[in-house]
Amino acid sequence: MICTSLFYYKYITKMKKTISLFCFVIITVFGFAQTKSATDTTFLEGRYRISFTDKKNSPYSIDRPQEFLSQRAIDRRTKFNISITEQDIPVNPQYLSVVSDFGAVLCNSSKWFNSAVFFIETELSMREIEKLSFVDKIEFVAPPIVYKKDARQLVPQDTITATPSIIKECIDADGEPETIFTNLVKIYGRSCTQNDKLGTFRSHVNGHMGQDRIIAVVDAGFLHVDSAAVFQHLWNNNKILLTRDMTGTEKFHDSTSIFQTGGHGMMVLSLIGGFYPQKLVGTAPGASFILLRSEEEETEHLVEEDNWVAAAELADSAGADIISTSLGYSNFDAGSPSHTYSQMDGNTTRITVGADIASSKGMLLINSAGNSGDEPWKYITAPADADSVLTVGACKYNDKKTKFSSFGPTSDGRIKPDVMALGLFPTIVVANGEIKNASGGTSFSCPLVAGCCATLWEEFPDSSAQAIKRLIIRSGNRYNKPNNKYGHGTPSITKARCYCYGKKLYDFLSTKYKLDDYDTFFDQIWEQGKVIFLSEKYVFDVNTCLGETPSFIVKDNDFSGIELPDISEKGGKLIFYQSYKKTFAIKIQAKKQ
């Protein structure tokens, strides 16, 4: 299910197309095993999940991971001490080949679950496949694929030659602060507000736009992303690293492309990576992207969870840092059993388990909470229930929750969503390529936060995915009073960055001030803080004072060699300046007598 409100994309079409395939049967050398039954004894032409018993005799080995993982994926595991295990080894290609020889058509496979989705046309084929010794279980997951091209055309597009680097160039230019600020606002256009609310505006000013981060966006397609002006900088700078349809649609329909369907994915991507001067700047316009189609818009069946898992595995293998998903699953069309609320426990649905596995590989997963807040279901949908996933609800410009944003808790009692972001009328590109304040849904709050995570992680690359997740949550404006409507509130990247730099500041000052509670100290710091454009100024009330007002300049976050004067008992303020060039100024200001 696409997590966009009723403004767009309410698909209820239920169609069935019979696919005729030439089917032939061979006798396999693997022999016969005890017969495995599908979930329904009545055969239905369609797609089946085939689970395998093992990965024996695989041509792959964990001793040669470069054969199935990119170097970047291997480096991620090495950096964060993540073992490469049998779970990382692909499904045995010989098993896939033998099943295909019975006329089944492979749609996708999962190494994490050791399974594959095949289209099976005849009952004879399935009964023969059931007999294979390496087949553990066969389950019906969807009827034949229904595919429909999106006929909407682009309006005439401008040629965009500028890149996000003009933001930094604007800052570095000579001029009065007021003039620089005015020029920056012009670059962002109406998207300035959605960036400023999350703090990405200031991150961009500091030069952090998600460079060196790879974001996999998993959606229903990416209509016109190959030709819309707002994405030109991504193509011109080789920022689109990989595109793939994980559904297997191309095997059943001619002339398919992820760029011919999925206006939803187009909008989602624009909120992260879009760049159109004076109209739209995404929250991570400097990031690189992997675009993966898993959602089938025309129908809603269990197979879409298999598609998503296959997409997550490809993202992992290709070296993605972040997976942004504006999809969620609870209710399915006839033929697929719907989920129950009790299954929203973080451990049950296939897509949620898959999300946890993806997280265990060192990636950060951000997911929309869902749009059922004003519907009977009400709650978040899978995989937003996973404890490893950063779940994002939708709020208005005034930070109030939208009616449609789904509620927590998970069925096992955990608070969800984790955070909130703008999800109603953001500045966004629509299907015809125009940029408007349009539509609504947690589908749009999710990518805004995904971009935040990319900018933060790019600035602090030694942090783990879960550390970034914790920082985002901790920076929420409701962190001290979370609930199942707002989670921990709207995050602030500025605040999260303060925590990151402040941790080092705290480590240095602790011997002087004997501050023995880090969390309490920085909560107090922020409550007394102010933020000023270009020079972020934080005023910290502390129970100490100096008889003089010295200042210290700290460059490149290096506090070594800095000694503060002795402390008196009169109280005062610690003033901490952070400039856009990573230069810090610390001053102790005595309380007026």
Indicate if 293 and 366 belong to the same structural domain: yes
The secondary structure of 471-535, three-state, reads HHHHCCCCCCCCECCCECCCCCHHHHHHHHHHHHHHHHHHHHHCCCCHHHHHHHHHHCCCCCCCE
What pLDDT score does 342 carry?
Answer: 98
**Looking at 491, 512, 533, which one is the last position of a domain?**
491
Residue 455 belongs to a domain: yes
What would the pLDDT profile of 133-188 be if each residue is shown by its tens digit?
999 999 999 999 999 999 999 999 999 999 999 998 887 777 676 777 788 889 99
Q: How many domains does the chain have?
A: 3
What would the pLDDT profile of 196-208 be if each residue is shown by its tens digit?
899 898 889 888 9
Residue 32 belongs to a domain: no
Could you tell me the CATH number of the domain that includes residue 96? Answer: 3.30.70.80
Say if residue 557's pLDDT is above 50: no
Residue 479 belongs to a domain: yes
Q: In the structure, what pLDDT confidence band is assigned to residue 25 with cuts at 50, 70 and 90?
A: very low
What pLDDT score does 2 carry?
Answer: 73
Give me the mean pLDDT over the 496-519 stretch. Answer: 45
Residue 499 belongs to a domain: no
Give the span between the Cα atoms of 388 and 370, in whole angstroms.
17
Indicate if 422 and 481 belong to the same structural domain: yes
What pLDDT score does 4 carry?
Answer: 59
Give the span between the Cα atoms of 389 and 326, in whole angstroms.
12
Say if residue 542's pLDDT is above 80: no
Give the span between the Cα atoms of 322 and 362, in whole angstroms.
9
Indicate if 100 and 229 belong to the same structural domain: no
DSSP3 helix / strand / coil % (the chain, rounded to 5): 30, 20, 50
Indicate if 460 and 313 belong to the same structural domain: yes
Residue 85 belongs to a domain: no
Is 319:72 a contact under the CB 8 Å cutoff? yes
Indicate if 413 and 509 belong to the same structural domain: no
**Looking at 446, 470, 491, which one is the last position of a domain?**
491
What pLDDT score does 381 carry?
Answer: 98
Is 267:439 a contact under the CB 8 Å cutoff? yes
Residue 24 belongs to a domain: no
What pLDDT score does 501 carry?
Answer: 62
Indicate if 176 and 136 belong to the same structural domain: no
Q: Give percent of the chain above pLDDT 90.
A: 68
Q: In the structure, what pLDDT confidence band is assigned to residue 1 with cuts at 50, 70 and 90?
A: confident
Q: Give percent of the chain above pLDDT 70.
A: 77
**Looking at 430, 459, 491, which one is the last position of a domain?**
491
Give the span between the Cα atoms of 429 and 492, in whole angstroms.
24
Ranges 50-59, 120-129, 584-593: which has the least confidence: 584-593
Ranges 39-48, 344-353, 381-390, 425-434: which has the least confidence: 39-48
Neighbour count for residue 361 (Cβ, 10 Å): 23
Neighbour count for residue 575 (Cβ, 10 Å): 17
What would the pLDDT profile of 65-95 be if each residue is shown by its tens digit?
999 999 999 999 999 999 999 999 999 999 9
Indicate if 188 and 121 belong to the same structural domain: no
Residue 71 belongs to a domain: no
Is 536:502 a contact under the CB 8 Å cutoff? no
What pLDDT score does 511 carry?
Answer: 31
Indicate if 486 and 538 belong to the same structural domain: no
Residue 23 belongs to a domain: no
What pLDDT score does 181 carry?
Answer: 75
What would the pLDDT profile of 436-489 be if each residue is shown by its tens digit?
998 899 999 999 999 999 999 999 898 999 999 999 999 999 999 999 999 999
Give the span between the Cα atoms of 553 and 98, in whole angstroms.
68
> What contacts 94, CB < 8 A, 6 or more positions away?
57
Say if residue 529's pLDDT is above 90: no
Is 477:226 a contact under the CB 8 Å cutoff? no
Write down the pTM of the prediction.
Answer: 0.82
Indicate if 511 and 370 belong to the same structural domain: no
Could you tell me the CATH number of the domain that includes residue 482? Answer: 3.40.50.200
Indicate if 481 and 555 belong to the same structural domain: no
Indicate if 278 and 419 belong to the same structural domain: yes
Say if residue 104's pLDDT is above 70: yes
Say if residue 569's pLDDT is above 80: no
More confident residue, 509 or 219: 219
Say if residue 516's pLDDT is above 70: no
Indicate if 484 and 508 belong to the same structural domain: no
Give the span between the Cα atoms of 446 and 449, in whole angstroms.
5
Mean pLDDT of the chain: 82
Expressed as residue numbers, the domain containing 115 is 46-55+91-142
What would the pLDDT profile of 248-284 be if each residue is shown by its tens digit?
999 999 888 999 999 999 999 999 999 999 999 999 9
Coil, helix or strand at residue 98: helix
